[in-house]
Chains A and B, each alone.
Chain A
Amino acid sequence: MKLIIVDYNSGNISSVINSFREVAQNKVNIEVTSDLNKIKSSDKVILPGQGSFKSCVEALNSINGLVDSLNEFAISNKKPLLGICVGLQMFANIGYEETETKGLGWIAGKVSKIDNQNGKYKLPHIGWNQINITKESKLFRNIQNNSHMYFVHSYEFIPVDKNVVSATIDYSSNIVCAVEKENIFGTQFHPEKSDKIGLKIIDNFINL
């Protein structure tokens, strides 16, 4: 199996690379690249993302043909893709961080700032929070409900169709922290930094 971690200058992806290599050992061929042909011919794709929605979308767009290749991979060919953090957020039609920015539009919805209720809740939401698994997902195979995952974000994805939501967390309100729509998976938390339980999620994705 060939798995690609998309390298599009979206900030720090070393931890993503390290964790996937740790889980895959030598069983899976992992490549870190933005090469369009390699992405098209791969079996699975990881779309990481750090920094702002706007900067990540701009970074994707600045590589000629990358968005088209990802569309072909995930939408036309329906091959498994996992978005992490802003990688998940970019599934939305639109994001409101810094300025209004168009996303990939794979899952209808928007990305807005978490309501901190006049300072009652600190932002960014940084640290370990317990996920509430709301639907059966292959990503959560052998993951107990209320497991702790590591988060760091100030914006939340609000999908139109709540059926795509696979887990939520409680922070200010119920925030979407994982989505699954057919072959498209996303986590707002960082499985690569969520200790052994996070590595298990990575293992689940590799073994889909």
Chain B
Amino acid sequence: MLKNRIIPCLDVKNGRVVKGINFVDLKDAGDPVEQAQIYSDSGADEICFLDITASNENRDTIYDVVKKTSKKCFVPLTVGGGVKSVEDINKLLNCGADKVSINTAAVQNAAVVLDSSKKFGSQCIVVAIDAKKNGNKWEVFTHGGRNNSGIDAMEYAKKMEDSGAGELLVTSMDRDGTQVGYDIDLMSKISSIVNIPVIASGGVGNLDHLVDGIKLGKASAVLAASIFHYGKHSVKEAKEYLDSKGIPVRI
């Protein structure tokens, strides 16, 4: 039986780990290579790095981080943030990333998804969707949540599946950093209209939220940052809790 995955996410800036509340108020909390290893040792099913380095001159720091991590980390490694082109994807994969997540570039130009999934295979192309509720629909945001594209998230999700995305990483902008739980409506709606796996993200504050993301949100995998990163819960605890709620996990 296929197990639901738990994916701790590390926000990386200038080669160091940080995690923001609603994408601001950053705190420095350590070395990404070491953090990834700790997560992998405690049972993380995958590791996700989100590069939030703003300045272009420091963009190359992520390549070095990925290179070092992939030599020590033998579970899948997904890297995203600032990925603009097929060439960026190629570079990250060559450094040892197993999957690359594309956000703004996919909204601006779906050909990046189409071309990269053809070239490298769908298995390594994750499309990250930042969605925010507006009335009774959700709209796709770009540039780390700063710009509203006005695009309907449901239509966009379907389009990305058709373009060759292997997975969708769906973040609720309304919930991110709030710790009140995933936007279950958003997750379950997207999950029901696409046939590719959905990773739920944004808003986890406790272990029950992970359970809800899978049971109610129909997500194949759940991603979280703060609850793991500041030691509130270990990945191992989270998996044991999910297991106790009847959710199949790798223990």
List residues of chain A with CB under 8 Å of any chain B CB: 11-12, 14-15, 18-19, 21-22, 50-52, 55, 116, 119, 122-130, 148, 150-154, 170-171, 192-196, 198-199
Contacts and interface: CB of A to CB of B under 8 A. Distances in A.
Contact of B123 (A21, A130, A153, A194): A153
Interface stretch (B91-99, B131-139, B145-153, B224-232): B91-99
B58 interface: no
B5 interface: yes
Nearest to A192: B74
Contacts, number: 103
Nearest to B196: A122
Contacts of A150: 75-76
Chain B interface extent, by class: 20 to 34
Interface in B1-39: 1-5
B210 to A, nearest CB: 15
Contacts of A19: 74
A12 to B, nearest CB: 4
B250 A148 contact: yes
Please provide the 10 A-B residue pairs with the shortest distance between their CB atoms, ordered closest to farther: A51-B121, A12-B93, A14-B96, A152-B123, A128-B250, A148-B250, A128-B3, A122-B197, A50-B121, A129-B2
A193 B76 contact: yes
Contacts of B51: none
Given A19-B74, A194-B74, A126 B98 contact: no
Contacts of B177: none
A72 to B, nearest CB: 28
Nearest to A85: B123
B94 A193 contact: no
A123 B121 contact: no
Contact of A123 (B74, B75, B124, B196): B196
B196 A195 contact: no
A196 B44 CA distance: 12
Interface in B78-96: 93-96
A128 B2 contact: yes
B124 A127 contact: no
A151 to B, nearest CB: 8
Contacts of A119: 195
Contacts of A128: 2-3, 5, 45, 250
B201 interface: no
A81 B122 CA distance: 26
A171 B220 CA distance: 14
A119 B93 CA distance: 30
Contacts of A12: 93-94, 97-98, 120, 124
A79 to B, nearest CB: 26
B45 A15 contact: no
Nearest to B198: A122
B166 A124 contact: yes
Contacts of B95: 14
B154 interface: no
A193 B123 contact: no
B176 interface: no
A129 B5 CA distance: 11
Given A127-B3, A150-B76, A153-B123, 7 more contacts: A12-B94, A18-B71, A21-B71, A116-B195, A124-B166, A128-B45, A193-B75
Nearest to B220: A122
Interface in B87-130: 93-98, 118-124
Contacts of B121: 11, 50-52, 55
